Structure 1
Amino acid sequence: MMLFVFFFLGLFTAIAQVIITREYFVVFFGQELAIGFILAGWLLWLSLGSFFYSKVVSKIKNQLFWFSLLVSVLPFLLLIEIIAIRNLRALFVVPSYMLFSLPVMILSVFLVQGPFCFLTGLLFPLGLDIDNKKNKFTVLDLYLIAALGSLAAGLIFTFIYIPYSNHFTAAYFSAAVLFVCLLFFVKLLKLKRYFIYIYFSGLVLSLYFTAGSGALDSYYNLQRWKTFSNGIELLNNRDSNYQNIAIGVRDGQYSVFENGRISVSFPDDYADAQFIHPVMMQHKRPKNVLYFGLPANAIIREMAHYNVETVEFVQPDPLIASMLTSLQNLHDIKKTALINDEARHYLENTRKKYDLIVCSLSAPSTAFIGRYYTKEFFEEVKASLLPDGVFVSKISSFGEEIPGYDAAAYFTLKSVFPHCLVSAGDVKYLFASNGAYISMNADELKERYKNKRINSEYFNRYVFKTIFEKDRILEFVKELEERKEKIINSDYEAGGYYLNIKYWMNLTSVRLPGVMKVLFEPWVIFLLLSIVFVLFYRRRLKLSLRVNISALVSGFSGSFLFVLIVLAFQSLKGSLYGYLGLFSGLFMFGLFAGVFTSRKSKNINPAKLALAQGAFVLASIGVIVINYFFRGAVSLIPVIGMFMLCFLSGFVTGFMLPFLVKLHHLPGMKVSYSASIIYAFANLGAALGAAIGAAFIIPIAGFIESAILVIFINLLCGILIVKQS
């Protein structure tokens, strides 16, 4: 029966992990790099809980009672954590418009996750010890079944909970199933009556919260909304595969929030007119227009002055268009189409050619939006333009102290189109074409506007002078060209993540971007690792210490590769928010398969451990292969490859666990004690891999070099294990 308890405990905690990550994702404005800190905080507390058990809790009596009581508390700690995350900005006094600074983000993740994760880390070895006394199953059997529960959680959350329920429903229905299992556990083992009271109380409360989950979700959504909406009334709040979307209204003006950050407001007739008229001036006769952005009436009305025949609106997130349909009626152009498809997917598959393609999105401060400023996207745009077609984009400035997004977009666009122009100011226009008709000469644009005899209520030809100031543009372009750091954004590189970490570091009181870039350059990391290796190599290390080092490196490599893969997936597809549960499930399925494959291995010795350690090299090579050999492939191929690599990373990590536990275990030592020590070191390494990898190594070194780093670390660790034997 303990197998079923561990299965549903693994299922519940895995669902909790995905829920917590998604909740943080919204509060942190969709910053993908936060995933590393969230995962690191989770793993670090698990490690501390496991270590605390090995030193303190393992000695207490009546362990079954404490296991029962603590399991019953777990779901309600999750409730408190969700509420705390949704009110995180109020708790840490972070303004509604501002990103969390790096220290505050780390502190908030560490503190809020603490109680739930610490208790989870303590419960697993406690349950192992209880079962070990009954001599029914091995430690590895129970770890294996918990991993299988986590796989089930990933699949259920991705394909059932996301489309049909909210986070509270997902959490408390899963908790109710766990308590039903525990009640059968009491009956089969004929335990004392008070166990029934504990579990039945937990079941009743879980069902109560499940029944009221809709009201709970609505109430605490509103609490979160108040922390970043500045008095705007909430109209609608939904989750898609890409993000959380909220729509509010104040004084007749609607605002769309994507992962907590405002992306666009409408109607805004003057602002829309000042954007669209300079855009339409870039083509002689724009007939067919593809528009990436909000399908606003003002945009369509102003386009109608140019006798546009068709305009197609495509959103990065198709759900936004459907949520806005009831708020406005599109008119003025006969063939106005709302395309119910993700923008890049549509562009990859359409055979149509356009006179004008416009990208009017929020600033690329996340990889989700940054996908529309990469070399691959610009190449797709170029392929969909007619010979005299024009591409127009815009980018908001982040201020003089944090340059980079605008420069990266400009240099990336220049690498694809022969003619490229950029304006200066808070909102920068980017014009690109195969021809030379595009212009930012205010007098020329003024003359074009006059010749077209356009009479707009919200725009006149004199506005061109204020948008395109010649001297300011020349000075800005000169400054761009003189920059030493010229980043080319790519789906397969981490340039956007590097700019994000620079922006984060700018929010702290200590300015360290330059120091961090040097410290986490690949050659510096390789040098430091080599020095550490030599220091260890020259000493005679005990077997237990070598096993602990191997567990640390295995945990580091497994979580580092997981973060590397999911960040690469977000750069490529942008739908990590919806598929995070699936990635987690695949990793855990790999863990399950790895443990199952190696658990009955005999005659374990350091040489075999070193060989198993080298298996991380294969997973890392897979990352490199996808980056080098499938760049030009249909996007489905690298996506399938990333799913497979996630499974492989989990498999190698799981394959290592039986080796580590068996080598660490000595005669007269409890197996649960060895397992808890290995569990603690592996989780500590995993926490370091997630935090350092996501925050510094991957953004600075890039995807390829980061994969090479994993290869290097595991080769050094394997040599250390073998040579010291």
Structure 2
Amino acid sequence: MKFHLAFLLMGFTFTITQAIMVRELMVAFLGNELSIGLVLGCWLILEALGSIAMARFLLRFSSPLLYPSLQVLLALALPLSLLLAFSIRTILGVVPGQGLNLWAISLASFFILLPIGIIDGAMFTAASETFARYTGKGIPAIGQVYVLEAMGGIAGGILFTYLFSSLPSFRTVLVIVALNLISALSLSTGVGKKAWPLIIAILLVDLAFLSPGLEGALERFATGIQWRGYDLAFYGNSVYGNVAIVRLGEQYTLFSNGIPIITAPFPDLNFVQDLAHIPLLFVREPKRCLIVSGGAGGLIRELLKYPWERIDYAEIDPLLLKALRALRIPLAEEELGNPVVHVYYVDGRLLVREKALERNPPTYNLIIVNLPYPSTLQLNRFYTREFFSLARRILDKDGVLVLMAPGSLTYLSPAMRDLNFSLYSTLKETFPYVFAIPGDGVNLWLTSWGVNFEEIGVEELVKRAGERLLQDTIVQERYIRLRFEPARLSWFKGELAVSKSPPNTDLKPLGLLYGLSFWNEMFAPAFGKYFDLLSRLRFWHLASFILILTSILGLLIGLGKLKAPGIMPLVVASTGFGGMCYDLAIIFAFQIFYGYIYREIALLVAAFMAGLSLGGWFMSRRAEEGNEWNKIMAIEGGLVALWLSFPLLLLTIYRWGGAASTPLLLLLNALGGFMVGMEFPLASKVYSQGRKLSQAAGIMYGADLLGAFLGSVVFSVGLLPPLGLTGSCWIVALLKAGSFGLVILSVIRRENARQM
């Protein structure tokens, strides 16, 4: 029984650990969800290295203390890796708000995960050897360990999502450390009592840090390193991400996943006055306003200079507002306490969606989206055609929607130009009237379905400003004439005319691509060129490559140069590639639709792993029944069909799933895992014919792992940004169709050879 619990604990431990590390590294990398693929890819490589190293070690040495020793090593490595995740920005000398390029993200992830990733792979191999010796069952014992680990992973995913995700990361890790040390004590009973004093000493230290007196000490130490040189006034996690507030004198800056969102009580006065008053020059009677993020800290104060009936306000992360109120910043209290202001503690896009789908939707004269440019999927959700369509439903006919993009009055770089033009083309698909006001650092984009901005002359705007007596603002006659100077507007239009960037949508987040390209253009020029090339990538480029590669392999099969069993590593590699892409596609889709993958990451990964293990178990029990080649063909065909229908299934769940959306996505992810898992036992059986079992198993495992690693990296930073979810799914479908065709060709060649 103690072995069963230990192997359940192994799956439980690594599912939760993986979720915690992904979360903390996302914060370190400014909430960039594409880093999830890079982190998982590093984990896969390290897991493989650990498994291989342990397999070789077991050829020379075996001991019943091996597995509990690895549990102790894990107990020591977990807090260290987590501390490195908190400290990586300080180690690299990166200031708050500054991102990292892809190379730095990959290297940082690899070295942070190095100890726990290797131990993860080593523990499974050691557990299989230990359990095989304990039960005397040999190979079947390995399958039991696999199932037990998967069951523990499922439990870990559920508990992390609904219990541990709200706790500080170090507290969760210390609980896991305690459980592993207790398990190590249990497993070493009778054979390793000499190690008990060391294990008990480590356990007592761990429990001390969980005690009321020292509880939170490690978290405070780690956040102190993470924000070294800054006075950290608030630090917390929500389902949407991490919120931190730093204080400099009397000034507060609020960060959401490392990105600065709000400054108070002394905001950038020129910016907030420009954002509040310039769009209102086009609104005749301000009555109702909706602010999506960045309202507190000055913007609401400027808006309250008008006779509003109601101002509704939501943030990208509701915890930002709760933190502001907890700190009792005078300006924020004044703004949020005004009876005209109604605060909604929900995600801004969710609020817009809820109001737009009401039977009688409320309408607003002004909607302000005060967010940074789309450098993450979470931010990109507020710059897509789907969001603008929702916003139009609640925008008054003579109302104005305003949002921002990076700008310059002297030179628009290629990425800045593409980002602005993509925003323009996206708005133009939803609204008849779109108007840009170029600025030095920030461009204001105004849009409406009833206000023709260009028909309202500067003289009329100056007149309206005078009537509103905006004496204590920068919006005076001279400033208005400067902002709407014809030569400046004409120059900006001419610059944008060069770009042909397409609209930005939920399932094809080109805004994210251009946002990342713009960031790299400024801070990492070498990667700026990569993203520039990526923006030129088209579906037919990759489709042509896959077709050519498949044709070459098909020719080799037809000529007899590639025998039927020999294609199995390629088939498994393509399935591993597709499986990882499938899992990431669900994760990214969840973030696009709902915005809080920060909490659900463990549950989604656990659902895929559950399907994977169940599929492997199911097919292992039926591997001897019927013709394995026919089964492989059926699975390959099913995978192609699944990938082709995948985008439609995602959209259907999002539009009609309602409260059942999350369970449906979990089921969809489990289904993908099940189909991927079914293929490996069959392909391994076919490939092992005429080969040593150990050699065949090693090659097939390596092919599967290599495919999954490539899938995690390529999908995150090569497919999703330029092709979107739909195009990426079709590319993987085409890849699997090629694999399917090669299997069919191999079967035909095999049958012809038999008849000769």
Q: CA deviation at 1:695?
A: 0.4
Equivalent residue letter for 1:248: V
Confirm whether residue 610 of structure 1 aligns to residue 633 of structure 2. Answer: yes
Residue 687 of structure 1: which of 687, 694, 709 is its match?
709
What are the residue-to-residue correspondences of 1:55-454 with 2, within 5 Å? 56-134=56-134, 135-136=136-137, 137-163=140-166, 165-187=167-189, 190-194=190-194, 196-197=196-197, 199-211=199-211, 212=214, 214-226=216-228, 231-266=229-264, 267-268=266-267, 269-296=269-296, 298-325=298-325, 326-327=328-329, 328-330=332-334, 334-350=339-355, 351-397=361-407, 400-403=413-416, 404-425=418-439, 426-436=441-451, 438=453, 441-454=457-470
Q: CA deviation at 1:275?
A: 2.2
Q: CA deviation at 1:261?
A: 2.1
Residue 646 of structure 2: which of 623, 630, 642 is its match?
623
CA contact (8 A) 2:436 2:443 kept: yes
CA distance change for structure 1 residues 504 and 353 in 2, over 3 Å: closer, same or farther? Answer: closer
How many pairs were matched up?
714
Deviates more, 1:22-31 or 1:303-312: 303-312
Q: Which has the higher contact order (CA 8 A, sep 6+)?
A: 1
Residues 282-338 of structure 1: CA deviation (Å, up to 9, x unaligned): 210111111112343633333233212221111121111111122232359542211
Confirm whether residue 477 of structure 1 aligns to residue 490 of structure 2. Answer: no
Equivalent residue letter for 1:341: V
Q: What SS does the corresponding residue of 2:400 show, helix, strand or coil?
A: strand
Residue 554 of structure 1: which of 575, 585, 599 is its match?
575
Report the Cα distance in structure 1 between the residues aligned to 2:393 and 2:72, rounded to whole angstroms.
Answer: 58
CA contact (8 A) 1:502 1:513 kept: yes
Q: What SS does the corresponding residue of 2:371 show, helix, strand or coil?
A: coil
Q: CA deviation at 1:441?
A: 4.8
CA distance change for structure 1 residues 272 and 42 in 2, over 3 Å: closer, same or farther? Answer: same
Report the Cα distance in structure 2 between the residues aligned to 1:206 and 1:544, rounded to whole angstroms.
Answer: 52
CA distance change for structure 1 residues 58 and 709 in 2, over 3 Å: closer, same or farther? Answer: farther
Equivalent residue letter for 1:473: L
Report the Cα distance in structure 2 between the residues aligned to 1:533 and 1:58, rounded to whole angstroms.
Answer: 40
CA distance change for structure 1 residues 616 and 57 in 2, over 3 Å: closer, same or farther? Answer: farther
Equivalent residue letter for 1:286: P
CA distance change for structure 1 residues 630 and 422 in 2, over 3 Å: closer, same or farther? Answer: farther
Report the Cα distance in structure 2 between the residues aligned to 1:289 and 1:369, rounded to whole angstroms.
Answer: 21
Deviates more, 1:1-10 or 1:715-724: 715-724
Report the Cα distance in structure 1 between the residues aligned to 2:582 and 2:477, rounded to whole angstroms.
Answer: 54
CA contact (8 A) 2:74 2:116 kept: yes
Equivalent residue letter for 2:617: F
User: Partner of 1:4 in structure 2?
Assistant: 5
User: Partner of 1:590 in structure 2?
Assistant: 611
Q: CA deviation at 1:473?
A: 1.6
Residue 673 of structure 2: which of 631, 650, 655 is its match?
650
Q: CA deviation at 1:614?
A: 3.3
Q: CA deviation at 1:238?
A: 0.8
Q: CA deviation at 1:3?
A: 2.7
User: Partner of 1:20 in structure 2?
Assistant: 21
Q: CA deviation at 1:220?
A: 0.6
User: Partner of 2:587 in structure 1?
Assistant: 566
Structure 2 unaligned segments of length 5 or more: list them. 356-360, 751-756
CA RMSD of superposed structures (Å) = 2.7
Residue 741 of structure 2: which of 708, 719, 724 is its match?
719
State TM-score, norm by structure 1: 0.91
Residues 51-74 of structure 1: CA deviation (Å, up to 9, x unaligned): 3344x2231222433333222111
Q: CA deviation at 1:116?
A: 1.8
Q: What SS does the corresponding residue of 2:621 show, helix, strand or coil?
A: coil
Q: CA deviation at 1:25?
A: 0.3
Residues 85-142 of structure 1: CA deviation (Å, up to 9, x unaligned): 2221233344444321222222222222222212211221222122223424432221
Equivalent residue letter for 1:343: G
Q: CA deviation at 1:454?
A: 3.4
Residue 491 of structure 1: which of 506, 509, 514 is its match?
506
CA distance change for structure 1 residues 681 and 500 in 2, over 3 Å: closer, same or farther? Answer: farther
Equivalent residue letter for 2:342: A
CA contact (8 A) 1:69 1:198 kept: no
Structure 1 unaligned segments of length 5 or more: list them. none
CA contact (8 A) 1:308 1:333 kept: no
Residues 349-384 of structure 1: CA deviation (Å, up to 9, x unaligned): 223222222211222211111111111111111111
Q: What SS does the corresponding residue of 1:651 show, helix, strand or coil?
A: helix
User: Partner of 1:701 in structure 2?
Assistant: 723
Equivalent residue letter for 1:5: A
Equivalent residue letter for 1:347: V
Deviates more, 1:249-258 or 1:403-412: 403-412
Q: What SS does the corresponding residue of 2:333 show, helix, strand or coil?
A: coil
CA contact (8 A) 1:318 1:342 kept: yes
User: Partner of 1:509 in structure 2?
Assistant: 526
CA distance change for structure 1 residues 461 and 393 in 2, over 3 Å: closer, same or farther? Answer: same
Q: CA deviation at 1:422?
A: 0.8
CA contact (8 A) 2:295 2:370 kept: no
Report the Cα distance in structure 2 between the residues aligned to 1:64 and 1:656, rounded to whole angstroms.
Answer: 33
Q: CA deviation at 1:461?
A: 3.5
CA distance change for structure 1 residues 598 and 67 in 2, over 3 Å: closer, same or farther? Answer: same
Q: CA deviation at 1:648?
A: 1.6
CA contact (8 A) 2:43 2:113 kept: yes
Deviates more, 1:691-700 or 1:647-656: 647-656
CA distance change for structure 1 residues 132 and 202 in 2, over 3 Å: closer, same or farther? Answer: farther
Report the Cα distance in structure 1 between the residues aligned to 2:60 and 2:519, rounded to whole angstroms.
Answer: 45
Residues 504-548 of structure 1: CA deviation (Å, up to 9, x unaligned): 653243623354455x53322232223333333315446664333
CA distance change for structure 1 residues 157 and 676 in 2, over 3 Å: closer, same or farther? Answer: farther
Q: CA deviation at 1:691?
A: 0.2
User: Partner of 2:754 in structure 1?
Assistant: none
CA contact (8 A) 1:51 1:680 kept: no
Residue 621 of structure 2: which of 570, 580, 600 is its match?
600
CA distance change for structure 1 residues 158 and 631 in 2, over 3 Å: closer, same or farther? Answer: closer
Report the Cα distance in structure 2 between the residues aligned to 1:619 and 1:178, rounded to whole angstroms.
Answer: 39
Report the Cα distance in structure 1 between the residues aligned to 2:657 and 2:494, rounded to whole angstroms.
Answer: 38
Q: CA deviation at 1:663?
A: 4.1
Q: What SS does the corresponding residue of 1:255 show, helix, strand or coil?
A: strand
Confirm whether residue 536 of structure 1 aligns to residue 536 of structure 2. Answer: no
Report the Cα distance in structure 2 between the residues aligned to 1:295 and 1:484, rounded to whole angstroms.
Answer: 33
User: Partner of 2:540 in structure 1?
Assistant: 523
CA contact (8 A) 2:612 2:674 kept: yes
Report the Cα distance in structure 2 between the residues aligned to 1:427 and 1:372, rounded to whole angstroms.
Answer: 17
- Report percent identity of matched pairs: 23
